[in-house]
A and B are shown apart, each in its own frame.
Chain A
């Protein structure tokens, strides 16, 4: 991915030298043309075309902001309820993610989602296991499914 971006910058610079006009506007035009060229040549790269990756990063950020707002409304309800009738607890979550940065990102996202907070990350033989403190455990299975379907998939999409 980084290689494709670098190549795109290089094409934009070559375009500036061809026009012998060194302004931001010419650079932008060159960058757009380079984008088109890279799109046409995408079969020769090992990774996929990088705009797809940029889009999945944007999607992850939007998902994150949405979950952050939901989390706050959830905590708001629990705090302002007259009776404290929730059941906290710690449950384990087996993640399929391998790389360290992916696990870090996932635990950051989990910490800011409704009613869950990461307590510890242990490394078993193959997979990494997250121990998550949930504020209301009867929802735990639902929470696991939710994390699997939304965050883990979005992170996999970014690292693909």
Chain B
């Protein structure tokens, strides 16, 4: 394996780990469920995907093309936004409050909310 490929793999894995750490920070720091969900459903997606891409390139350079990793990337792409949306929706319908500083709520009164 040449140095260039090793460097590319390194960049992908480091970026992925960094975004995963940032999303973990976001889950701790942000004030309410909805904003936390922003951090969890975005940064974690890109983080996991970059780690998987880095792994794929690493094994591809040493002669194995592991198609399962590509499939995993596609599945994460498809499922993670749906998961984020469903958590948000379930939270709204069970009456989880928005953060105090929120400025508007257009959905108020349009759906039945259980307290």
Contacts and interface: CB of A to CB of B under 8 A. Distances in A.
Given A75-B43, A111-B85, A119 B92 contact: yes
Interface residues of A, number: 32
Contacts of B104: 89-91, 137
B46 A68 contact: yes
Interface string B25-66: 110011110110111011101100000000000000000000
A76 to B, nearest CB: 5
Contacts, number: 111
A107 interface: yes
A86 B101 CA distance: 8
A85 B77 CA distance: 30
B108 to A, nearest CB: 8
Q: What range describes how many residues of B lie at the interface?
A: 35 or more
Contacts of A57: none
B103 interface: yes
Contact of A111 (B19, B84, B101): B84
Contacts of A89: 98, 102-105
Contacts of B103: 87-89, 137-138
17 contacts: A68-B42, A68-B45, A75-B38, A75-B39, A80-B22, A84-B29, A84-B30, A87-B103, A89-B98, A91-B104, A111-B82, A112-B42, A112-B45, A112-B81, A118-B85, A119-B34, A120-B89
Taking chain B's interface residues, is the majority helix, strand, or loop, or is none over half, making it mixed?
helix
Interface string B63-90: 0000000000000001001101100110
Interface of A: 68-69, 71-72, 75-76, 78-80, 84, 86-92, 107-108, 111-112, 115, 117-120, 122, 131, 133, 135, 137-138
A84 B107 CA distance: 24
B107 A119 contact: yes
Interface of B: 19, 22-23, 25-26, 29-32, 34-35, 37-39, 41-43, 45-46, 78, 81-82, 84-85, 88-89, 92, 98-99, 101-107, 110-111
Given A72-B42, A137-B103, 15 more contacts: A76-B19, A86-B35, A87-B103, A88-B98, A89-B104, A107-B85, A111-B81, A111-B82, A112-B42, A112-B45, A115-B38, A120-B107, A133-B38, A133-B88, A135-B38
Taking chain A's interface residues, is the majority helix, strand, or loop, or is none over half, making it mixed?
mixed
Contacts of A92: 106-107
Contacts of A135: 35, 38
